[in-house]
Chains A and B, each alone.
Chain A
Amino acid sequence: MKSAVVVFPGSNCDRDLAVALGQVTGRDPVMLWHRETEIPEGTDIIAVPGGFSYGDYLRSGAMAARSPIMRAVSDAAARGVAVLGICNGFQILTEAGLLPGALMRNAGLSFVCRDVKLTVGTSQSIFTNRYEAGETVTFPVAHHDGNFTADSETLDRLEGEGRVAFRYAESVNGSARHIAGILNDAGNVLGMMPHPERVIEAAHGKTDGRRLFEGLLQTVKA
């Protein structure tokens, strides 16, 4: 199973994500610099990490979404390759049009950095198949722009089609319908603000995030 992590100037969760993927898949991911134009042949999972790509210039994720590597990521997503965007990665995927909606400044204006309780919205996805729908998990968040917004038609469609992967079980950032993570219509792209890669081993204090990577590995391998 081959994975890749995209790295932008200002990414800061790329190494955490590489460790998580390496531990779970048993193979270190390829790190792809933003100027690259191709995804290595046979890549099964592409991860877009958190951080402050391009210093959040213009809008969070806006510049990264127009970088050369993201054209290749879009093409790979269209071919069905699994794409996981976390935090800034989620912002980048919405800005690139791979996921609907947008992530705005937190309603309370503050940067939120703490563990939050989430409810799993669906177990019917390649990312969440190791969780139970309705299960409560705890992941850390660390963001300033996590306030998900979309028109009500889009929100209805996301909910109706089982594409809300995670919801906040508490008040965090003003996100529409408490949405913390969503899937694309084909189900192979997930964007989420919380950080599963920061809770994968006992030394982290919690391991709730590990099952996301394990589930992904299992489905992609099958």
Chain B
Amino acid sequence: MKTRVYVTLKGGVLDPQGKAFHHALEGLGFSGVNDVRAGKLIELDLADGVSDADIDGMCRKLLANTVIENYRIERA
């Protein structure tokens, strides 16, 4: 079963990469971009028996660093 994990930086955490994307977009002439935040998308192909709690554990123990990142799980 396909499951997606979105990892994003927490609100207050400075995102220099997102800032650089923002500047580059402005440099290309795109206006109206208020802010850019960069994150990660991780796709998992899981066996049927894997529980929500298991996936949550994967996120907390490895896929996200909860000191600086939030995660969201999207099961297909």
Physical interaction between A and B: yes
Choose among A58, A102, A109 the residue that contacts B68 (Cβ–Cβ < 8 A): A102
Known: A104-B14, A109-B16. A149 touches B68 (CB 8 A): yes
Q: CA A102 – CA B68 in complex, angstroms? A: 7
Asked whether A137 is an interface residue with its Cβ less than 8 Å from the other chain, the reply is no
Residue of B nearest to A61 (CB): B65
Q: Are the CB atoms of A109 and B67 closer together than 8 Å?
A: no
Q: Are the CB atoms of A101 and B17 closer together than 8 Å?
A: no
Asked whether A78 is an interface residue with its Cβ less than 8 Å from the other chain, the reply is no
Q: CA A66 – CA B16 in complex, angstroms? A: 26
Q: Are the CB atoms of A109 and B65 closer together than 8 Å?
A: no
Per-residue CB contact flags for chain B residues 4-19 toward chain A (1 = under 8 Å, else 0) read 0000000001101100
Choose among B14, B16, B17, B63 the residue that contacts A58 (Cβ–Cβ < 8 A): B63
Q: Are the CB atoms of B67 and A101 closer together than 8 Å?
A: yes
Residue of B nearest to A59 (CB): B65
- What is the CB-to-nearest-CB distance from B17 to chain A, in angstroms, rounded to a whole number? 6
Q: CA A79 – CA B63 in complex, angstroms? A: 28
Asked whether B44 is an interface residue with its Cβ less than 8 Å from the other chain, the reply is no
Q: Are the CB atoms of A102 and B16 closer together than 8 Å?
A: no
Choose among B17, B20, B65 the residue that contacts A102 (Cβ–Cβ < 8 A): B65
Q: Are the CB atoms of A62 and B65 closer together than 8 Å?
A: yes
Per-residue CB contact flags for chain A residues 44-62 toward chain B (1 = under 8 Å, else 0) read 0000000000000011001
- What is the CB-to-nearest-CB distance from A67 to chain B, in angstroms, rounded to a whole number? 12
Contacting residues, chain A, for B13 (C-beta < 8 A): 104, 149
Contacting residues, chain B, for A107 (C-beta < 8 A): 14, 16
Choose among B17, B61, B62, B63 the residue that contacts A109 (Cβ–Cβ < 8 A): B17
Choose among B16, B62, B65, B67 the residue that contacts A108 (Cβ–Cβ < 8 A): B16
Which of B's residues lie within 8 Å of A, judged by CB?
Answer: 13-14, 16-17, 20, 61-63, 65, 67-68
26 A-B residue pairs with Cβ-Cβ distance under 8 Å, sorted by A, are A58-B62, A58-B63, A62-B62, A66-B61, A66-B62, A94-B67, A95-B65, A100-B67, A101-B67, A102-B67, A102-B68, A104-B16, A104-B68, A105-B16, A105-B17, A106-B16, A107-B14, A107-B16, A109-B16, A109-B20, A147-B14, A149-B13, A149-B67, A150-B67, A174-B14, A174-B16
